[in-house]
Amino acid sequence: MTGMDVREELHRLGGVADRATLVALTSRAEVEAALRSGDVVRHARGHYGLPVADEAVRTAAALSGVVSHRSAALHWGWELKTVPVRPEVTVRRKRRLSPQQRSLAAVHWADLAVDEVSGPATSPRRTLVDCLRTLPFDEALAVADSALRHGSATREKLAEVADSVRGAGAARCRRVARHASAAAANPFESVLRAIAIDVPGINVVPQVVIRDPGFEVRCDLVDVSRRVVLEADSFAWHGDRSALRWDARRYDNLVVRGWLVLRFAWEDVMHDQDYVRHTLRAIGELVHRQAQVRQPRACDA
């Protein structure tokens, strides 16, 4: 492993991660080396992130603004689908910036109330509003799931925040709030669920435990009524033969118990969503056809 590998894993994890996860995916020595080189920074005890969060704070100060949108989400320790290439910063509406200053960040203009700013960044509430209002559905859902997962908001609070939004993006905010879940394990899973939400004939719930006599397994996304399992499959967790064997048995046991299991790679979920969407439509149609075959015809009753 190299420092580049550690950074790559952090990107896949959404920009922030706890030490145990990062060490499991790389190694203790590589994490320490990445810290020494500055490729990775320590945000809090046991939690690490890409240096983009610190860069955003410095850039916001240079522009007399505040860290906002996805950069603020990283500041609050929320994982993202996509880590922004440039810091995202909000400045007051009448603030004039030179072309050179604008090149430093993705700049947003807004007059923020005092309670919408916390330290160098927008408050968690304002950060949620900005992200839910402006990001595509899959990215916004990943942010909302992460905020719930980390206890930065509750479902009730998220719904209240979404309901308070008026104007452009209000409907988008409310849609994300309806579907957000603290049970989602990571952005990879959140994005896969976002794709599935838009596919008729599939209705998945995150992190469902499937039990049978002598068998119990937690699955990423499950449509219980249709007996369909979607797994957000990361190569990083299958790094040795024992892990591969355990997963093979896990999926075999699901199939022999009547579950349809689909395994999706990170690259497809993040970068080839048409393929994922087409596959989910096909499985929905397959389940529908199978249900029709099982139903007795009127003449057979």
Q: Residue 210 maps to which CATH number?
A: 3.40.960.10
**Domain boundary, last residue among 179, 203, 235:** 179
User: Does residue 281 lie in a domain region?
Assistant: yes
User: Does residue 263 lie in a domain region?
Assistant: yes
> How many domains does the chain divide into?
2
- 136 and 193 both lie in a single domain: no
**Domain boundary, last residue among 158, 179, 200:** 179
Amino acid 1: pLDDT: 41
- 175 and 191 both lie in a single domain: no
Task: Identify any residues that bridge with 68 across adjacent strands, giving them in sequence order.
Answer: none
The Cα 284–Cα 204 span in angstroms is 12
Amino acid 100: pLDDT: 95
**Domain boundary, last residue among 179, 209, 243:** 179
| CB burial of residue 200 (10 Å; 0-12, 13-18, 19+) | exposed
Amino acid 301: pLDDT: 44
- 259 and 161 both lie in a single domain: no
Q: Which structural domain range is residue 84 located in?
A: 51-179
Under 8 Å between Cβ of 161 and 124? no
User: Does residue 23 lie in a domain region?
Assistant: no
Amino acid 47: pLDDT: 78
User: Does residue 76 lie in a domain region?
Assistant: yes
User: Does residue 41 lie in a domain region?
Assistant: no
The Cα 287–Cα 228 span in angstroms is 9
Number of Cβ atoms within 10 Å of the Cβ of 113: 9
User: To 10 degrees, what angle do helices 124-134 and 137-149 make?
Assistant: 160
Give the alpha-carbon dihedral of 141, 144, 145, 151, to 10 degrees. 180
Under 8 Å between Cβ of 207 and 225? no
- 59 and 140 both lie in a single domain: yes
User: Does residue 198 lie in a domain region?
Assistant: yes
pTM exceeds 0.75, yes or no: yes
- 260 and 288 both lie in a single domain: yes
pLDDT string in tens for the chain (301-residue length): 444 588 888 888 888 888 888 888 888 899 889 888 888 888 765 678 888 878 999 999 999 999 999 999 999 999 999 999 999 999 999 999 999 999 999 999 999 999 999 999 999 999 999 999 999 999 999 999 999 999 999 999 999 999 999 999 999 999 999 999 999 999 999 999 999 999 998 999 999 999 988 889 999 999 999 999 999 986 555 556 677 787 888 889 999 999 999 999 999 999 999 999 999 999 999 888 887 887 665 544 4
- 146 and 245 both lie in a single domain: no
- Exposure b/e, 46-65, CB count within 10 A at least 16 = b: eebbbebbbbbbebbeebeb
